[in-house]
Structure 1
Amino acid sequence: MAKLIRLKELMPNYYSDVLEMNTLLEVEQYQLDEFEAAISRQQANQFVMTADTDGIAVWETLVGLNSSNSLDLETRRYNVLARMLPPKPVTIRYLRELLAMLNINAELTVNGPAFKVDVKINTTDTQATRRLNDLLSALLPANLKYTAFNIGQENQTGALHTGAGALVSVQTTNTSRTEAE
């Protein structure tokens, strides 16, 4: 941000060689710059999208969220915005609009009478996935299950280590066997 007021530029020419006046203006300029920075910070904290961590903490208190400093600033910002949304019936169309408005690259597919929603997200940002899960948990009705698939891609070179796990169900039955001799 450009300096609004430069005191030395406002000083009359006949003070340019006076040491005391130059020293006073340097001290006052420092104080004026600090005051200007405080005003700019306060102005930015008036809006959720431009607030810093202290401003988001105030917004979280205003909307009734527990402040969690372990989350990054963007996640805290989206949590505040999601809490501030007007109460509106949650439909799939509204949910799609909301995802587009929050700039989350996700595709929703509803599986008819099974009460299930498949969500395909395309990102490599783990915080965006967490924000999407929080949003879906808060907005979707309790009888509607969702499955989230992250199909993000990354271009990196190097070794690729993968793993797979499986749950094996073992069933035992009581069988008796007779052997013919």
Structure 2
Amino acid sequence: MIREIDLISYLPLFVQEFREIQQIMSAENPEFQLIADESEKIKNNQFIETSDLVGIRRFEKMLNIVPAPDDTIESRRSRVLARWNEVVPYTYRALVQKLIQLCDGNFTITPNFNEYEMEIITHLELSGQVDELQYLIGYMIPMNIAVTSKNDIHCNSTGHFSLPAGMSFCTMVELSDAYRDNFNLEGHLYTTGAPIGTVQVSISDNFNEQVEISGTNRLASNASVAEIITIN
């Protein structure tokens, strides 16, 4: 919606005061709003970069382009723009201009015409752009040129990483004929959505043990299990 329609604002001030006129204008505002919105869509669909699904489908039909099911509106616009201004002859300068248009200037091209080789490194992220690059290489570069094409996507992340889900186990197994020990757990445990298991297994004929667990255990939506198995 480019603008909000308010019909009563076009009337003289003394007419705007009548309740009947106010109700009539309020009832007609939605209809005129639909007309204004549709006229804006018609204007936008005349240009590739501002067209919606209806408009880009018309451009694709003119260029005999069949979009893939997972193509986004941005990738479809990029493909149409790449094929719209196809001119001949296909020179190296024309190839560079096409790559600038497709890759938004983010690419590296290294020609070696003496060895009939060419290397193209791009950083395309939208769905369908790599297929369009393959189409571009296929119809613009001569068959006697060996082309090496690479598409690198840099994923850089900065900041802090917090693990909201994890798994922690503490297992002790003792096999003894004279087991005597003191086992203490102290500290604080903060988990979110994580199973915590503490298992202690002791097999002895002379079991004398003290187990103390102290501290703060703060859990959110998790399972906490503490098991002590004694065979004596």
Give the TM-score normalised by structure 2.
0.58
Q: CA deviation at 1:126?
A: 4.6
Q: CA deviation at 1:78?
A: 2.4
Q: CA deviation at 1:114?
A: 4.0
For residues 10 and 78 of structure 1, the distance between their equivalents in structure 2, rounded to whole angstroms, comes to 42
Structure 2 counterpart SS, 1:125 = coil
Q: Who is 2:30 aligned against?
A: 30
Q: Who is 1:39 aligned against?
A: 39
For residues 65 and 131 of structure 1, the distance between their equivalents in structure 2, rounded to whole angstroms, comes to 11
The one-letter code of the counterpart of 2:156 is: N
Whichever of the two has the greater Rg, that structure is 2
- The change in CA–CA distance for 1:145 and 1:23 in structure 2 (over 3 A counts) is farther
Cα RMSD, aligned residues only: 2.5
Residue 109 in 1 paired to residue 110 in 2? yes
User: Quick check: 1:45–1:51 contact (8 Å CA) kept in 2?
Assistant: yes
Q: CA deviation at 1:89?
A: 1.9
User: Quick check: 1:110–1:117 contact (8 Å CA) kept in 2?
Assistant: yes
Q: Who is 2:137 aligned against?
A: 136
User: Quick check: 2:81–2:101 contact (8 Å CA) kept in 1?
Assistant: no
The runs of 5 or more residues in structure 2 that have no matched partner are: 162-232
Q: CA deviation at 1:47?
A: 0.8
For residues 142 and 63 of structure 2, the distance between their equivalents in structure 1, rounded to whole angstroms, comes to 22
For residues 153 and 65 of structure 1, the distance between their equivalents in structure 2, rounded to whole angstroms, comes to 29
For residues 58 and 133 of structure 1, the distance between their equivalents in structure 2, rounded to whole angstroms, comes to 23
Q: Who is 2:59 aligned against?
A: 59
User: Quick check: 1:7–1:29 contact (8 Å CA) kept in 2?
Assistant: yes
User: Quick check: 1:124–1:153 contact (8 Å CA) kept in 2?
Assistant: no
Higher strand share: 2
Residue 155 in 1 paired to residue 150 in 2? no
Structure 2 counterpart SS, 1:28 = helix
The one-letter code of the counterpart of 1:93 is: R
Q: CA deviation at 1:81?
A: 2.2
Structure 2 counterpart SS, 1:118 = strand
Fraction of identical pairs, as percent: 24
Higher helix share: 1
The one-letter code of the counterpart of 1:50 is: T
Q: Who is 1:179 aligned against?
A: none
The one-letter code of the counterpart of 1:33 is: Q
Q: CA deviation at 1:41?
A: 0.3
Residue 90 in 1 paired to residue 112 in 2? no
The one-letter code of the counterpart of 1:81 is: L
For residues 52 and 64 of structure 2, the distance between their equivalents in structure 1, rounded to whole angstroms, comes to 18
Residues 68-79 of structure 1: pairs in structure 2 closer than 5 A: 68-79=68-79
For residues 33 and 149 of structure 1, the distance between their equivalents in structure 2, rounded to whole angstroms, comes to 49
User: Quick check: 1:110–1:118 contact (8 Å CA) kept in 2?
Assistant: yes
For residues 132 and 56 of structure 2, the distance between their equivalents in structure 1, rounded to whole angstroms, comes to 16
For residues 33 and 21 of structure 1, the distance between their equivalents in structure 2, rounded to whole angstroms, comes to 18
Q: CA deviation at 1:67?
A: 4.2
